[in-house]
Structure 1
Amino acid sequence: MERWSGSAGICINEKMEILMVKSFDSQGWAVPSGGIEEGETPEECCVREVKEETGYDVKVIEQINVKRTIIKGIQVTTYYFRVEKIGGSSGINDPDKIIVEADWKSLSELKTIDHAYPEDLELLLEQLEQ
């Protein structure tokens, strides 16, 4: 079976909002994420993807989840990290050109917006409650 591995960054600001992105082909929001490249650790991938998709430099605080699923016959493993932003955003610079918007979402917004990965909502809410 084909395999794919990626990383996702959960970044919470001082207002207790989570950094989310939306891609051109989806109505749903998701945390910044992407595929691990050759020679990259999951942590390095997470930092790079958050930077590309949101413009924020971040540092990894801790790994909080590993999601394993099968999508269209591909075995998918996604590493989730709690990250902290460093400074402001330099703007979206996504080489894949799929991210249309990045925004901070509050607890109440998280409960009402469309999610690209609805199964992640519980994890996001848990992170806000800490």
Structure 2
Amino acid sequence: MKEWLGAAAVCLNEQDEILVVRGYDSPGWEVPSGGIEIGETPEQCCEREVKEETGYDVKVVDHLHTKKTKIQEIKVTTYYFKTEVKGGSLGINDPDKTIAEAKWVSISEFLTLKHAYPEDTPYIEKWMKKLYRS
């Protein structure tokens, strides 16, 4: 069975807004994420994908969750990390040309968005409240 490994970033700013992106081929929003390249750790992948998809330099500060699922005949593992912005500014520089839009949204707005991966929404809501409201 084919396998895909990826990483995703849960990144909140000082206003407790979460960074989300929307792809050209998706009507839904998601946290920045992508596939792990050869020689990369999940953490390095996470930091690279955020930079490419949003323009922000981030640092992984904590592992939140590992999601394992099967999509068609592909075994999918995605590592979710809490990240902090260290620099940069909002701007898409995605070499794959898949990201249409990136923005910061509040927790309440996040819950009303159409999500690319709706099964992740309860986890992300819980992490947002736990990590940044305590």
Q: TM-score, normalised by structure 1?
A: 0.97
Distance in 1, matches of 2:106 and 2:22, equals 15
**1:87: Cα distance to partner?**
2.5
1:24 counterpart letter in structure 2? Y
1:19 counterpart letter in structure 2? L
**1:90: Cα distance to partner?**
5.4
1:113 counterpart residue number: 113
**1:120: Cα distance to partner?**
0.9
1:66 counterpart letter in structure 2? T
**1:88: Cα distance to partner?**
3.7
Could you list the runs of 4 or more consecutive aligned residues of structure 1 that deviate by over 2 angstroms after TM superposition?
A: none
Contact 2:90 2:102 in 1 (8 A): no
- Note closer, same or farther for the CA distance 1:21–1:90 as it changes in structure 2 (3 Å cut): closer
Equivalent pairs, count: 130
Please give the secondary structure, in 2, of the residue aligned with 1:70.
strand
Deviations 1:30-83 (A, max 9, x none): 000000000000000000000000000000010000000000110000000000
- 2:46 aligned with 1:36: no
Please give the secondary structure, in 2, of the residue aligned with 1:120.
helix
1:100 counterpart residue number: 100
Q: TM-score, normalised by structure 2?
A: 0.94
- 2:49 aligned with 1:86: no
Query: How much is the aligned-residue C-alpha RMSD, in angstroms?
Result: 0.9
Distance in 1, matches of 2:90 and 2:103, equals 13
Distance in 2, matches of 1:129 and 1:80, equals 16
Question: Which runs of no fewer than 5 residues in structure 1 stay unpaired?
Answer: none
